[in-house]
């Protein structure tokens, strides 16, 4: 509830919604403490839970930049209390979507760019949004994937049905705002499920695949 005496490794999280979004749990640790905590977690799993004798675990090798590394981003689509379409992450333990005003710091910047572009287009077009309670509405999730090697972006629109109204406007809008996008796909999921993808995916524009290495 309250922090009475902060630890030596405690910092102010870089993300403004870290305390409500379910995507991150350790941003209040500075990075070195995160690595030490992860090393200790491995030791605890092997000794306390696994029952092994004391084991030697090498220090965790950290990243040069511990942000912007996530090459695939999956965002549910919903509306806020003002009726605006938002893309974000589920609040921990709920299905309430939390939108970060600065985008997710862990996502590749091109993923954030693509997600924000789709969000703007859906609002401009007053698109139909899926409602978990009724099973009605069209857009369920938006998925973006970026190749670190080529800086190419793939976008997947997950929909509750086959037809996407004003599809050409979505395609041309994304081409204009996300020139890095080389592949736009639609995945169809009409089931009442928490699973993001349905069984059918079709290419809407561009290449069917991107490559990374």
Q: How high is the pLDDT of residue 19?
A: 86
Mean of pLDDT over the chain: 95
- Summarize pLDDT for 149-198 with one digit per residue, the tens: 999 999 999 999 999 999 999 999 999 999 999 999 999 999 999 899 99
Q: Got the DSSP string for 81-138?
A: TTS-EEE-EEBTTSS-EE--TT--TTB-HHHHHHHHHHHHHHHHTT--B--TTT---S
Pairing of strands 153-159, 181-188: parallel
- Residue pair 13/27 in contact (Cβ under 8 Å)? The answer is yes
pTM summary value: 0.91
- Summarize pLDDT for 62-98 with one digit per residue, the tens: 999 999 999 999 999 999 999 999 999 999 888 899 9
């Amino acid at each position: 509830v309250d922090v009475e005496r902060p630890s030596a490794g405690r910092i102010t999280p870089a993300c403004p919604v870290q305390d409500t979004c379910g995507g991150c749990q350790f941003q209040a640790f500075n990075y070195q403490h995160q690595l030490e905590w992860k090393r200790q977690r491995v030791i605890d799993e092997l000794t306390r839970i696994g029952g092994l004798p004391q084991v030697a675990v090498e220090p965790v090798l950290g990243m040069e930049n511990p942000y912007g590394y996530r090459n695939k981003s999956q965002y549910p689509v919903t509306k806020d209390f003002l009726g605006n379409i938002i893309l974000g992450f589920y609040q921990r333990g709920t299905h309430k979507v939390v939108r970060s005003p600065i985008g997710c710091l862990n996502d590749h910047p091109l993923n954030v760019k693509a997600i924000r572009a789709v969000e703007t287009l859906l609002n401009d077009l007053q698109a139909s949004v899926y409602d978990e309670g009724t099973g009605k509405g069209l857009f369920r999730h938006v998925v973006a994937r970026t190749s670190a090697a080529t800086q190419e972006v793939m976008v997947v629109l997950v929909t509750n049905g086959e037809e996407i109204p004003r599809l050409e406007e979505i395609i041309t809008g994304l081409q204009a705002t996300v020139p890095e996008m080389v592949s736009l796909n639609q995945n169809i999921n009409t089931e009442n499920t928490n699973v993001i993808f349905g069984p059918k995916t079709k290419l809407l524009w561009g290449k069917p695949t991107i490559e990374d290495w």
